[in-house]
Chain A
């Protein structure tokens, strides 16, 4: 366990950024979002949740896949992939850190998504324990301890210090490269930190969504849930926007599109939302013509289909972003509860 004074953090960022790109929550035009750190960046580790989750570091909203040149009848394929450079993502909360494991199950399963893989291999994740959980948080429902996040390095604020605990080899390597900035934490520090964590865990228990019951969910009763009449009512106010999807750390649906640049075609992929009415549109029509079906798909995927294919694991980490951002305040919590998963 190491520590660094809060007021020395800028030096730490600078030292990391010297060797590799550092992504860190910054206040960008009024909103906290992960951004590349540079001199003068308005780092914002106080805000609990960035608007977009940390997933965009590994799975960006838009990403070039391949480009083409065409001339007459000929096509040339240009593989524009590059091995990712090393980078660090700092300030990842426990929920977002957990989301990487979920994304891994999708993108690293056979056949491997090389775009994601190279970023995962070259990215070092520094997590940050939560100090002040908010009312929309329900990570504990998924077994996440927001006071003890995973990652290559876990960090914690307590008193004057940021505590620094490397957890993997990658984390150790990074720690070694920053040795001159980090102090070694003593027993007193450890005790203080433990107290802090205890405090946080106490607060967690007071959260309004604490104890959200997911026992009714999972791979079982797929058809029964699918055919439930509740979906109609739950989805009736849904606008069909993608706010929930795009702030979600685990949503990973994407679209592949071609952009004609004039003298070549750029094929790129971008985030897509199953809430969009054109999501499954094909030449013949769409198998999910109503918003109810699309709404159902999103929650069935997170709470039933994904667990069914992944040993019971849900595709939700309880970060609560969708709870906060939905324009009409319909969210996964209300869905979970509607099917009998009552809170405390």
Chain B
């Protein structure tokens, strides 16, 4: 990882120096060794605080909406999963591709600090990742975890190690593709009875505090004004005076991003209440794949998404209401 960072810094300085780009978008170190902040670097000196390690989870694609409105070209570092979001934003004309220099960086999965904490690592003041193990240095002693156990949800269901779009790649140690079934969670819920599902979701959604972090971090939620903020939309709401508001918010949000969601997993990562929001979006992805053929948003910039498309032979909606199971 250290080597990758060295190359990243070197290359960024070079591109800045040559005037090919006038700023760099990357991750910046924080207070505790795991709290990185996306940042814009404009000079070689500033780049010394650029960081790339097991905690560089934030997807930088969405920042490019604003960045490409500015003068000059920006260098951005994108992990494989981030490139899907990038493509999708290009497709929706939200990013000016000409103004971005994309460097794809290798990724072997990012570590979830909350996972460390929930496994007892209280008072973390530093973390080491040797590829297999993650060692947390805490105020109350060191703790060691298998890396696979403490990966972010989005990394446990990684879409692949290939970058969908890039101008350059920085790959020191090619990461092995590992097969995983990202629909296991959805399947498990599908297998439940409606009553169980209802209990599950009510429990989860009741936690929602409507902080809008999921929406604001979501690269698909790039609306200039969200319907929930628009007093004229008829659905504007801010908090949850009733459980219905949560259902409404999350259902509508899932629908608005349906066919556009690349399953980047940022929503689940940022939720302060750990609501498994990816299970909502992934359900729609699973359904679209099943009903209308495999589709992965963000693999390209010109395909037609399932909900803006049709065939004459599509399944009827009543397959749902008529399908087995009670109610």
Contacts and interface: CB of A to CB of B under 8 A. Distances in A.
Interface stretch (B168-176, B182-190, B235-243, B277-285): B235-243
Interface in B202-219: 203-204, 206-207, 209-213, 215-217
A179 interface: no
Contacts of B30: 329, 334
A183 B266 CA distance: 50
B20 to A, nearest CB: 22
Interface in A301-344: 323, 325, 327-330, 333-334
A328 B212 CA distance: 14
Interface residues on A, range: 35 or more
B211 A243 contact: yes
Interface stretch (A11-19, A75-83, A169-177, A264-272): A264-272
B159 to A, nearest CB: 21
Interface in A227-277: 233, 236-237, 239-243, 245-247, 255, 257, 259, 266, 268, 270-273, 276-277
Contacts of A247: 209, 211, 272
A89 interface: no
A61 interface: yes
Contact of A270 (B36, B211, B229, B239): B239
A208 B32 contact: yes
Contacts of A271: 238-239
B238 A239 contact: no
A62 to B, nearest CB: 4
Contact of B274 (A30, A268, A272): A30
Contacts of A237: 37-39, 63
B273 interface: yes
A207 interface: yes
B125 to A, nearest CB: 5
Interface stretch (A106-114, A130-138, A145-153, A157-165): A130-138
B31 A334 contact: yes
A80 B209 CA distance: 24
B206 A270 contact: no
Interface string B258-278: 000000001001101110000
A240 B65 CA distance: 15
B123 interface: yes
Contact of B239 (A52, A62, A207): A62
B50 interface: no
B207 A135 contact: no
B35 interface: yes
Contacts of A193: none
B89 interface: no
Contacts of B204: 29
Contacts of A61: 209-210, 239-240
Task: State the main secondary structure of chain A at its contact with B.
Answer: loop
Nearest to B266: A327
A61 to B, nearest CB: 5
Contacts of A206: 139
B135 interface: no
A25 to B, nearest CB: 14
Contacts of A270: 238-239, 241
A51 interface: yes
Contacts of B32: 135-136, 208
A243 B203 CA distance: 20
B38 A328 contact: yes
Nearest to B30: A329
Interface residues on B, range: 35 or more
A33 interface: yes
A268 B273 CA distance: 24
Interface string B15-56: 000000000000000111001111110000000000000000
A325 B206 CA distance: 18
B310 interface: no
Interface in B97-130: 122-125
Contact of A135 (B124, B229, B238): B124
Contacts of B298: none
A6 interface: no
B221 to A, nearest CB: 10
Interface in A26-70: 28-31, 33, 48, 51-52, 61-62, 64
A132 B35 contact: no
Nearest to B272: A325
B232 to A, nearest CB: 12
A246 B111 CA distance: 25
A241 B215 CA distance: 8
A257 B238 contact: yes
A328 B37 CA distance: 5
Contacts of A333: 31
Nearest to B39: A237
B80 interface: no
A299 B225 CA distance: 25
A277 B212 CA distance: 12
A135 B211 contact: no
24 contacts: A29-B203, A29-B207, A30-B274, A48-B122, A52-B209, A61-B209, A132-B140, A207-B123, A207-B139, A239-B216, A239-B217, A241-B213, A241-B270, A243-B213, A245-B211, A247-B211, A268-B241, A270-B239, A276-B212, A276-B238, A329-B37, A330-B37, A333-B31, A334-B37
Given A61-B209, A135-B123, A237-B63, 17 more contacts: A33-B273, A52-B209, A135-B32, A135-B125, A207-B139, A236-B40, A240-B212, A241-B270, A242-B212, A243-B270, A245-B211, A270-B238, A277-B229, A325-B272, A327-B269, A328-B37, A328-B58
Interface of A: 28-31, 33, 48, 51-52, 61-62, 64, 132-136, 203, 206-209, 233, 236-237, 239-243, 245-247, 255, 257, 259, 266, 268, 270-273, 276-278, 323, 325, 327-330, 333-334
Considering the complex of A and B, which 6 residue pairs feature the smallest CB-CB distances, nearest first? A270-B239, A327-B270, A329-B35, A239-B216, A241-B213, A62-B241
